[in-house]
Chains A and B, each alone.
Chain A
Amino acid sequence: MTAPVAAPVLDVRGLRVSFRGFEGVAEVLQGVDLTVGKGERVGLVGESGCGKSVTMRAIMGILRAPPARVDGGEIRYLGRDVLTLGRRERDLLKGRDLSMVFQDPGTSLNPVFRIGEQLDDVMGWADRRGGERTSRRTRRGRILEVLKQVKLPDPALVYDAYPMQLSGGMRQRVLIAMALLNRPTLLIADEPGTALDVTTQDEILRLLDALVQHDGLSMLLISHNLGVVRAMTDRLYVMYAGAVVEEGATADVFADPRHPYTQALLRCVPKLDGSAVYAGIDGTLPDYTRPPGGCRFHPRCGYAHARCSEARPPAFEVGAGPVAHRSACWLEEPR
């Protein structure tokens, strides 16, 4: 198990993001804390609308502003605050150290350019930003090497192929290759394989995992699928309505989920042994422009008491293991 190390690769502190629209100001992220240690595989899990994508986009610096606005907090990448960096420096970071595996193999590649050209562009841009001048031939060598790494059967053929000539699984491999091309330190994987069939997804996830472990990369995996997160990560964060409600070692959280939301969510997941109890969670995600006071989960929570609607619970330490296990719930308040 990987313990969080002294100098994390990614350190997000108190990140607050809001959106402005017709309904008013929507406070979407209300102080997200999140770290990814060196060589650590971290999951960010939650249902649609919980803020995991906004968090990811803020980290990648691709929030559309307006309507989005970062109201506070910091995003430290290898010790430097990304939010205060200049555009040039941030682009440099994005092209090289910070890299992303996109979700949809159907639309993330441009259909009119060959795979090789698209990978070459990605690599060429990063090289140029880094002040390097590389030839197309040297880049081709690296590209073929990475295509082989992602276990594409015939790299040279794939290099010259158009996206439409590849299957969904192969395109997803190309997207992974694209993310690995510039030897990143941190890989952000946004729902990888979600659009694929379960057998293909399984293969892709195993490949991604092997590559990450082999190169000692750090990975932030964003997913709505608890099973995927369980298989792929060392540590995880559970988000609800713009806040992290629970964090801890993946094994600990699955063995002993502490936050009422995590517990309810796990109960909703259909089980392969057919034992699922269809409890569901009553109610819906709150309206971000008029969120409930205190803990944002309290209107849907079976354990809610007066306190929950008055004040927002901080993250209380709930575990005894080597990795911090915290739950943002008043039930865990030490007395």
Chain B
Amino acid sequence: MSAEPLLRVDGLTKHFPVRGGPLRRVVGHVRALDGVSFDVAPGETFGLAGESGSGKSTLARIVVGLETASGGRVRVGDVDDVRGGDRRAFGRVVQMVFQNPGSSLNPRRSIQATLELPLAIHGTFQGPIRARAAELLEMVELPRSFLGKHSHELSGGQKQRVAIARALAVQPQLLVLDEPTSALDVSVQAKVIELLQKLRDELSLTYLFISHDLSLMHAFCDRVGVLYLGQLAELGRADAVFRAPRHPYTRGLIASVPVVGEEEVALKAGLERITGEIPSAANVPSGCRFHTRCPAAEERCRHEDPEFTGDPSEQAVRCHVHSIV
């Protein structure tokens, strides 16, 4: 990856204080993110996988500026961090599509009002705003008659299309997609993903795609990162990571994916399953944080936190046992 990255996440940390006792003193910290670093090149689709509690949504919210980091930096294009900066300037570079079609649109506002809001705020568009709103609808393959509708008249897939159109209204470079299809049926999901691919090619967008659906990620993303308890466990080209996962967590995740075809079963063959549930981020295990569930854990995994080995543009892994030399 020789080009200057569009998104640079550098040592990102987010600690939420845990308060307890009658005086509400800080008694500990939830380490939602603990030193996450990766780059996303322009035009690339980067997937971030992980179970609930892995910190993937927190990361997405920090990247778009809905939350502030406790440490580390996020740089999008030439805009450095939203903190203290110009909210609107930042919003022109990065936008987000949310997970839940049920709450992503205001039930009391028309689709037209929803789409005209960003146009009015940023004023970057010359000409009649209503025409532009209709154009945005066309971009997401919805008829212009939807302008007068309200969200309750739309199906889940249609709502997500409107949410995509709203995010695109300010012509951002980076779109953060936080599980945009996880609430949709597969037949609808397929259409929305198809649309996202088309938009990516036509508008040369860059995507940060958050999901727990590994199969979807493999098809949709160029590179992926696997988050576990606020740290990346594995990182690399999607095809490399899915065809030859190295980290025992990635291997376990892939092993537990329900599949529908024989070719896929072959991919899962030989991968060790993992048991138990993700520990609380308020109480992160010592050493390698995955050692409590790891089928390959050794003595040193309990005490020593492993470093990344390998090339993040191809495949890199944070594991003592399966390090890349």
Residues of chain A touching chain B, judged by Cβ–Cβ distance below 8 Å, are: 47-48, 167-169, 197-203, 205, 224-228, 230-231, 254, 264-276, 278-282, 284
The 8 Å CB contact of A276, one of B188, B214, B215, B274, is B215
- A274-B253 in contact (CB<8A): no
Known A-B contacts A272-B215, A273-B267, A275-B219; the reply to A197 vs B51 at CB < 8 A is yes
Given the interface contacts A197-B212, A203-B275, A227-B259, does A270 sit within 8 Å of B252 by beta carbon? no
Cα distance A20–B73 in the bound complex, in angstroms? 56
CB pair B191 A197 closer than 8 Å: no
Name B's A-contacting residues (CB within 8 A): 51-52, 155, 157, 185-191, 193-194, 197, 212-216, 218-220, 238-239, 242-243, 252-261, 263-264, 267-268, 273-275, 277-278
B187–A273 CB distance below 8 A: no
**Alpha-carbon distance between A278 and B216 when the two chains are bound, in angstroms:** 10
Residues of B within 8 A of A280 (CB): 187-191, 194
Can you list 7 A-B pairs, Cβ within 8 angstroms, ordered by A?
A: A200-B51, A201-B256, A202-B255, A272-B257, A274-B242, A281-B190, A284-B157
Residue on B with the closest CB to A274? B218
A13 CB, min distance to chain B CBs, angstroms:
28
Contacts of B212 in A (CB 8 A): 197-198
A226's contact among B193, B214, B260, by CB below 8 Å, is which? B260
Q: How far is the CA of A169 from the CA of B213 in the complex (A)?
A: 19
Q: Is the CB of A270 within 8 A of B187?
A: no
Q: Are A274 and B238 in touch, CB under 8 angstroms?
A: yes
Centre residue among B188, B193, B258 by max chain A CB count within 10 A:
B258
Report the bound CA distance from A224 to B185 in whole Å: 8
Using A273-B264, A275-B263 as known contacts, say yes or no to A198 and B216 having CB atoms under 8 A apart: no
Q: Which residues of B contact A197 (CB under 8 A)?
A: 51-52, 212, 277-278
Tell which of A168, A230, A281 touches B258, judged by Cβ atoms closer than 8 Å: A230
The residues of A that contact B259 with a CB separation of less than 8 Å are 227, 230, 271-272
B167 to chain A, nearest CB (A): 20
In the complex, the answer to whether B218 meets A270 with C-beta atoms within 8 Å is yes
Residues of B within 8 A of A168 (CB): 277
Residues of the A chain whose Cβ atoms lie less than 8 Å from the Cβ of B277? 167-169, 197, 199-200
Task: Collect the chain A residues with CB atoms within 8 Å of residue B253's CB.
Answer: 198-199
Contact B185 A48, beta carbon cutoff 8 Å: yes
B190, B194, B260: most-surrounded residue (chain A CB, <10 A): B260
Q: How far is the CB of A95 from chain B (nearest CB, A)?
A: 31
A169 to B220, CA, bound (A): 29
The answer to whether B51 touches A270 (Cβ under 8 A) is no
Chain A residue numbers with a CB within 8 Å of B261 are 254, 271, 273
Shortest Cβ gap from A323 to chain B (Å): 19
In the complex, the answer to whether A198 meets B257 with C-beta atoms within 8 Å is: yes
- Beta-carbon nearest neighbor of A50 in chain B: B185
- A198–B256 contact, CB under 8 A? yes
Q: Secondary structure at chain B's binding surface: helix, strand, loop or mixed?
A: helix
The answer to whether A272 touches B189, judged by C-beta atoms less than 8 angstroms apart, is no
Chain A nearest CB: distance from B195 CB in Å?
9
Q: Using Cβ atoms and an 8 Å threshold, which residues of chain B touch A282? A: 191
Known: A270-B218, A271-B263. A202 touches B190 (CB 8 A): no
Return the contact of B268 from the options A167, A230, A272, A284 (Cβ within 8 A). Answer: A272
Q: How far is the CA of A215 from the CA of B62 in the complex (A)?
A: 50
Given contacts A202-B256, A271-B260, A274-B219, 6 further A-B contacts (CB under 8 A): A47-B188, A168-B277, A197-B278, A226-B260, A272-B215, A280-B191
Partner of B189, one of A198, A268, A274: A268
Min C-beta distance of A199 to chain B, whole Å: 5
Distance, CA A282 to CA B194, complexed state (A): 12
Which of B157, B215, B239, B243 interacts with A271 by CB under 8 Å?
B215
Shortest CB-to-CB span from B95 to chain A, Å, is: 23
Question: Which chain A residues lie closer than 8 Å to B239 at the CB level?
Answer: 274
A206 to chain B, nearest CB (A): 9
**Residues of B close to A276: CB separation below 8 A:** 190, 215-216, 219
Distance between B257 CB and nearest chain A CB, rounded to angstroms:
6
Q: Is A225's CB under 8 angstroms from B219's CB?
A: no
- Complex CA–CA separation, A127 to B219 (angstroms): 52
- Nearest-CB residue, chain B, relative to A254: B260
Cα–Cα, bound, A200→B256 (Å): 9
With a cutoff of 8 Å between Cβ atoms, the chain B residues found around residue A267 in the complex are: 190
Looking at the assembled complex, report how far the CB atom of A209 sits from the nearest CB atom of chain B, in whole angstroms.
Answer: 12
Task: Give Cα A56 to B273, complex, Å.
Answer: 32
Shortest distance between the CB of A331 and any CB in chain B (Å): 20
Are A271 and B258 in contact, with the CB atoms below 8 A? Answer: no
Q: Are B264 and A271 in contact (CB under 8 A)?
A: yes
Distance from A236 Cβ to chain B, minimum over Cβ atoms (Å): 12
Contact A227 to B258, CB < 8 A, known contacts A274-B219, A280-B187: yes
A158 vs chain B, min Cβ distance (A): 15
Instruction: Count chain A CB atoms within 10 A of each CB in B213, B215, B263 and give the residue with the most.
Output: B215
With the chains together, A200 CA to B258 CA distance in Å? 12
Residue in contact with A199 in the complex, picked from B157, B188, B194, B256, CB distance below 8 Å: B256
For the complex, what is the distance from the CA of A47 to the CA of B184, rounded to whole Å?
9
Give the nearest-CB partner of B51 in chain A.
Answer: A197
Closest to B157 in A: A284
Would you call A272 and B267 a contact (CB within 8 A)? yes
Q: Distance (Å) between the CB of A47 and the closest chain B CB?
A: 4
> In the complex, which of the residues B191, B213, B243, B263 contacts A270, with contact meaning CB atoms closer than 8 Å?
B213
Q: Which residues of A contact B189 (CB under 8 A)?
A: 268, 270, 280
- List A contacts of B219 (CB < 8 A): 270-271, 274-276, 278
Closest to A223 in B: B258
Question: In the complex, which of the residues B254, B258, B275, B278 contacts A225, with contact meaning CB atoms closer than 8 Å?
Answer: B258
Please, how many angstroms separate the alpha-carbon atoms of A281 and B215 in the complex? 19
The answer to whether A278 touches B215, judged by C-beta atoms less than 8 angstroms apart, is: no
Does A278 contact B214, Cβ atoms closer than 8 Å?
no
Most buried by B among A254, A266, A271, A272: A272
3 closest cross-chain pairs (CB), A and B: A227-B258, A202-B256, A280-B190
